[in-house]
Amino acid sequence: MKDPANDKFSAAQQGLGYLYQSRLALLRLLELPENTAVFLEKDDDLDFVDTDGSKSLASLKHKAAGDHLTDLSTDFWKSVRIWLARYKRDGLSVSNLRFFLFTTSTVPNTSFLKGFLPAQAHAGDEAKMLAEQADEALRRSKSGLVGGIADEFDKLTPAEKRDFLARILILDGSPRIEHIPEAIKDRHMRSIRREHRIAVFERLEGWWNDEVIKQLTGGRDEGIFGYEVSDKLTVLAEEYKLDNLPITFRGKEPAGEIDTENDPRAFVVQLREIGISSSRIRNAILDYYRAFEQRSQWARENLLVSGEIESYEDRLVDEWQRYRDVVFEELDGNSAEHLLQQAGRELYKWAEFVSGNIESLRIRTRVTEPYVTRGSFHILADVASQPRVYWHPRFLERVGRVLEVST
């Protein structure tokens, strides 16, 4: 198989670059003041806007491991070309722009570009020397691209050259795309238990990517603010505390059509037996699906303690039995079918609308999502031969015949 990195027709590196933009923007926004906003693909790869309106334009370069950024590297000079245009557009020295180059490459000590690293000063003689070194590097190049940049750079006065270059910062050795998740977890998730950090990061990045897509497709005009990321991370972290569990299937639907009239599953057959409407049966199927999938995800992420589901179901069954005995109390062997169905609907109404408000019937105290409780009752009702809960008072007597007819 060909290595995409060595295939001249491969778009892998370009695709990696776009993904790198999104991930690095998330990392940087977590590190900057919360009122900072970021825009992707506006004036540069990333635009960071401070509360006072100051703007930092960032070019991003995700390079091969071991790559170096040298005096005539096109990665640097292409960025300079963009920055020069923005600098002139915004009024030269009166503009409120700063320029950043985030690169996974490193700047060797032999390159004049080391003068743009964070540890360097850009004032007085140092700034003048940096401008002279830039001029000299541009004269050395025989590249048409760099030659065009040299022409634009020479249109600046000496003072403007120094001012422009003083605004540039190179952050070399920036984290590679595959290392960013670990950086975020290590630096910004210390309040979250270690075993949950991967799941929290995945959900945070999923939300983040949705916001980025909205911005890039015009669905969001404003920047994405740092406080939005902080707020989202806080909400996610809360879901992984000991008295809570993450809710990730709200609004989700199963693949394929929902067939309320012909679905053969026991819990659906039970609802048809008491005359529940098609629309309510559809809701029940959704609750079952969401609760079942949610439980599966909790299990995959090892969020449940041993025996927790079993204990939860026992509590549901015990409370169901108590309410069942009250609802069925006045029925007897001669009760008419319409009274039996009416009692079943009353019992089901309790499970559907009341049980979720009873704190002792929550799997954990802060798990208040209705589909968890409702869907769990349907899971208990879905055992074909001996369901642990049922709605029709005679369902256990009829179960064989009813399920045989439904299949």
The stretches of 247-394 forming alpha helices (DSSP H) are: 266-273, 278-300, 308-327, 337-349, 370-380
Nearest to 263 by CA among 397, 151, 386, 403: 403
What count of other Cβ atoms lies within 10 Å of the Cβ of residue 150?
18
Q: What is the pLDDT of residue 108?
A: 94
Lay out the sheet containing 37-40: strands in order across.
Answer: 168-171, 97-103, 55-61, 46-49, 37-40, 224-225
**pLDDT means over runs of 10, the chain (407 residues):** 51 77 97 97 97 95 93 92 96 96 95 88 69 87 77 92 94 96 96 93 97 96 97 96 96 96 96 97 98 97 95 98 97 95 98 95 97 98 90 87 58
Strands (E), 161-283: 168-171, 224-225
State which H helix or E strand residue 58 sits in: strand 55-61
Pairing assessment for the beta strands 97-103 and 168-171 based on DSSP bridges: parallel
Main-chain phi, psi angles of 181, to 5 degrees: -55, -40
Q: Are 391 and 270 in contact (CB under 8 A)?
A: yes
Both tokens of residue 177?
């795309």
Q: Chain-centre distance of CA 39, in angstroms?
A: 17
In the numeric block, the tokens 């709605």 are attached to 391
Q: What is the pLDDT of residue 1?
A: 46
In the numeric block, the tokens 């798990």 are attached to 367
In the numeric block, the tokens 């020479």 are attached to 154
What letter represents residue 22's amino acid?
S
Nearest to 168 by CA among 80, 259, 52: 80
Q: Are 216 and 22 in contact (CB under 8 A)?
A: no
Cα first-last separation, the chain: 50
Q: Which residues of 241-253 are buried (b: 16+ CB within 10 A; e: fewer)?
A: eeebbbebbeeee
CA distance 78 to 132: 19
CA atoms within 13 A on the CB side of 35: 5
Q: What is the pLDDT of residue 139?
A: 84
Please name the residues in contact with 30: beta carbons below 8 A apart, sequence gap of 6 or more: 184, 187, 188, 226, 229, 230, 233
Q: Are 172 and 117 in contact (CB under 8 A)?
A: yes
Q: What is the pLDDT of residue 55?
A: 97
CA distance 368 to 349: 18
Q: What is the pLDDT of residue 129?
A: 86
Q: What is the pLDDT of residue 127?
A: 74
